[in-house]
């Protein structure tokens, strides 16, 4: 039975906040995406950081969500809460809706954007080989002996496109600062880069003096 895009989005975020094993959460998330059609432009797809989809088709979208839950313990994908003047409590970030005639009046596609946070404790390696993505693929989880696991929380903009007939998700684009993750999960590397930058600036000043 068709559902609204808003209902699907509410169910999407509820999966992360609720109980269940990583495998169950992965299956529940994939069930909110449209089915494979054989046409890449109409297949479920997720893109991270840049405009093109990195993961296309049910199998790859399943792989992505399973990887999130494997690499990050207690992984959360949640709408941001905003502190606003005059309100005693934080309020949920608003959902931003496309116009009813976007991209064309004769074939509109519902799109909803939401300010979000992605968070979790880094307990497993990210993709190696296919779908490897720096800097995360190059960061090893910190062991307990080195104050691990380390936690990350990344602000992100999530943009969802929906099948207008079924209300299921067709495409999801997630824009985030993955190098902020490097500061959270590899603080030694961040300090090294900061030291290198400082030395470079001092060298430039000395040369130009």
Q: What is the mean pLDDT of the chain?
A: 88
Q: What's the predicted TM-score (pTM) here?
A: 0.86
For 127-164, write each residue's pLDDT tens digit: 998 888 888 898 999 988 788 899 999 999 999 999 99
For 168-204, write each residue's pLDDT tens digit: 999 999 999 888 888 899 877 655 555 555 666 766 7
For 132-142, write each residue's pLDDT tens digit: 888 889 899 99
Rounded distance between C-alpha atoms, residue 117 and residue 72, angstroms:
14
Residue 52 pLDDT greater than 70, yes or no: no
Rounded distance between C-alpha atoms, residue 158 and residue 108, angstroms:
19
* Contact call for residues 127 and 48 (beta carbons, < 8 A): no
User: Hey, what CATH class is 5-208 in?
Assistant: alpha beta
Q: Domain coordinates of the chain in residue numbers?
A: 5-208
């Amino acid at each position: 039975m068709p559902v609204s895009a808003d209902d699907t989005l509410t169910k999407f975020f509820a999966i992360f906040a609720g109980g269940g094993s990583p495998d169950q959460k992965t299956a529940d998330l994939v069930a909110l995406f449209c089915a494979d059609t054989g046409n890449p432009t109409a297949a479920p797809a997720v893109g991270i950081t840049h405009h093109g989809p990195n993961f296309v088709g049910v199998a790859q979208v399943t792989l992505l969500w399973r990887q999130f839950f494997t690499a990050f313990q207690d992984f959360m994908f949640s709408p941001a809460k905003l502190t606003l003047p005059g309100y005693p409590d934080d309020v949920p970030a608003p959902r931003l809706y496309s116009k009813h005639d976007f991209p064309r009046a004769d074939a509109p596609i519902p799109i909803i954007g939401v300010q979000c946070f992605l968070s979790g404790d880094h307990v497993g390696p990210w993709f190696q080989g296919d779908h490897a993505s720096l800097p995360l693929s190059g960061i090893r989880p910190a062991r307990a002996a080195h104050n691990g696991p380390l936690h990350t929380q990344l602000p992100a903009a999530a943009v969802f496109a929906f099948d207008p007939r079924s209300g299921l998700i067709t495409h999801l684009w997630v824009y985030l600062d993955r190098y902020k993750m490097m500061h959270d999960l590899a603080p030694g590397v961040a300090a090294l880069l900061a030291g290198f930058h400082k030395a470079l600036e001092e060298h430039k000043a000395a040369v130009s003096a």
